[in-house]
Amino acid sequence: MTTQTDTPGSVTTVYQVSGMSCGHCEGSVSGEISEIPGVTSVKAVAATGEVTVVSAAPLDEEAVRAAVDEAGFELAGQA
């Protein structure tokens, strides 16, 4: 689990997502996660399967899981 506070009022969490293989996959996952309330930044990297999320407060993992599922991928957990 990687969670860090970068700036006051923000939390960075890295999730592991399986199934991403290209830029389109990254965009799909990023788009769905960015719709979660409180998310300010999302960066998905297909090569590593890591998705870095910056949010105003810690996110409910089930909300992240639902967003990743909606994009057609599987959340393996926090990296």
In this prediction, residue 4 carries a pLDDT of: 55
pLDDT by position in tens, the chain (length 79): 445 555 667 999 999 999 999 999 999 999 999 999 999 999 999 999 999 999 999 999 999 999 999 999 999 988 8
Report the C-alpha gap between 48 and 67 in whole angstroms. Answer: 19
pLDDT value of position 1 = 41
* Structural domain boundaries in the chain: 2-78
Q: What pLDDT shows up at residue 7?
A: 60
60 CB burial (10 A radius; 0-12, 13-18, 19+): exposed
Q: From 25, 44, 24, select the one nearest 34 (Cα to Cα).
A: 44
Residues 75, 12 contacting (CB under 8 angstroms)? no
Q: Write the CATH number of the domain with boundaries 2-78.
A: 3.30.70.100
